[in-house]
Amino acid sequence: MTGPALPEALNRRQLLGGAAAGAAGLFSAAGWAMPAGSPRLLILFLRGGYDSASLLVPQANDFYRRSRPGIAIAPDRQRPLADGWALNAVADPLLPLWNRRQLAFIPFAGSPDLSRSHFETQDIIEFGYPGRNRAATSGFMNRLAVEIGARGTAMAFTQKLPIAMRGSLVIPNSDLGQRSALSAGRQAAIAAMYAGDAQLGEQVSAGMGAGAAVSAALQREMATSGRDARGVAAFEANAQRIGLLMRDRIALGFADIGGWDTHVGQAGGLDYRLGVLARGLSNLAGAMGPAWRDTAVLVISEFGRTFRQNGSQGTDHGHGTAFLLLGGAVAGGRIAGRQQKVNEAMLHQNRDFPVLNDGRDVMGALFARLYGLGPAAVQRIFPASRPQELALL
pLDDT tens digit string along 61-99? 999 999 999 999 999 999 999 999 999 999 999 999 999
Q: In the structure, what pLDDT confidence band is assigned to residue 16 with cuts at 50, 70 and 90? A: very low
CA distance 301 to 359: 10
- Reduced to 3 states (helix: H, G, I; strand: E, B; else coil), residue 381 is helix
What pLDDT is recorded for position 178? 45
| Residue 306 in this model has a pLDDT that exceeds 90 | yes
Measured torsion, CA atoms of residues 184, 190, 196, 198, in degrees rounded to the nearest 10:
-90
What pLDDT is recorded for position 210? 35
- Closest C-alpha among 139, 135, 145, 141 to residue 123: 139
Burial of 303 (0-12, 13-18, 19+ CB in 10 A): buried
Q: In the structure, what pLDDT confidence band is assigned to residue 230 with cuts at 50, 70 and 90? A: confident
- Closest C-alpha among 298, 17, 320 to residue 154: 17
- Closest C-alpha among 48, 45, 259, 47 to residue 157: 45
What pLDDT is recorded for position 34? 78
Tell me the mean pLDDT in the region 104-119. 93
| Residue 27 in this model has a pLDDT that exceeds 60 | no
Domains of the chain and any CATH numbers: 12-20+45-179+230-381 (3.40.720), 182-218 (no CATH)
CA distance 118 to 302: 7
What pLDDT is recorded for position 5? 31
b/e sequence 163-195, b meaning 16+ C-beta within 10 Å: bbbbbebebeeeebbeeeeeeeeeeeeeeeeee
b/e sequence 29-62, b meaning 16+ C-beta within 10 Å: eeebbbbebbbbbbbbbbbbbbbbbbbbbbbebe
- Closest C-alpha among 42, 38, 238 to residue 154: 42
CA dihedral sign, ordered 267, 268, 271, 272: negative
Tell me the mean pLDDT in the region 180-184. 40
| Residue 297 in this model has a pLDDT that exceeds 80 | yes
What pLDDT is recorded for position 225? 58
Q: In the structure, what pLDDT confidence band is assigned to residue 192 with cuts at 50, 70 and 90? A: low
Q: What is the pLDDT of residues 361-374, one digit of tens each?
A: 999 999 999 999 99
CA gyration radius for the chain? 22
Which runs of consecutive H residues, i.e. helices, occur in the chain? 12-21, 23-26, 62-67, 95-99, 118-127, 140-148, 184-193, 198-226, 232-248, 266-288, 359-371, 375-381
Strands 252-257 and 56-58: unpaired
Rounded mean pLDDT of the chain? Answer: 84
DSSP summary character for residue 348: B
Fill in the amino acid letter for 284. Answer: L
Strands 40-46 and 154-157: unpaired
Q: What is the pLDDT of residues 29-43, one digit of tens each?
A: 344 567 888 999 999
What pLDDT is recorded for position 181? 36
| Residue 275 in this model has a pLDDT that exceeds 70 | yes
What pTM was estimated for this model as a whole? 0.82
| Residue 378 in this model has a pLDDT that exceeds 60 | yes
What pLDDT is recorded for position 116? 87
What pLDDT is recorded for position 90? 98
- Give the lowest-confidence range in 15-29, 52-66, 225-239, 250-264: 15-29
CA distance 96 to 297: 16
CA dihedral sign, ordered 108, 110, 113, 119: negative
Q: In the structure, what pLDDT confidence band is assigned to residue 183 with cuts at 50, 70 and 90? A: very low
b/e sequence 312-341, b meaning 16+ C-beta within 10 Å: ebbbbbbbbbbbbbbbbbbebebbbbebee
Q: What is the pLDDT of residues 246-256, one digit of tens each?
A: 999 999 999 99
What pLDDT is recorded for position 235? 93
Q: Are the beta carbons of 16 and 38 closer than 8 angstroms? A: yes
Q: What is the pLDDT of residues 193-221, one digit of tens each?
A: 546 655 445 444 543 443 344 344 444 44
CA distance 108 to 83: 14
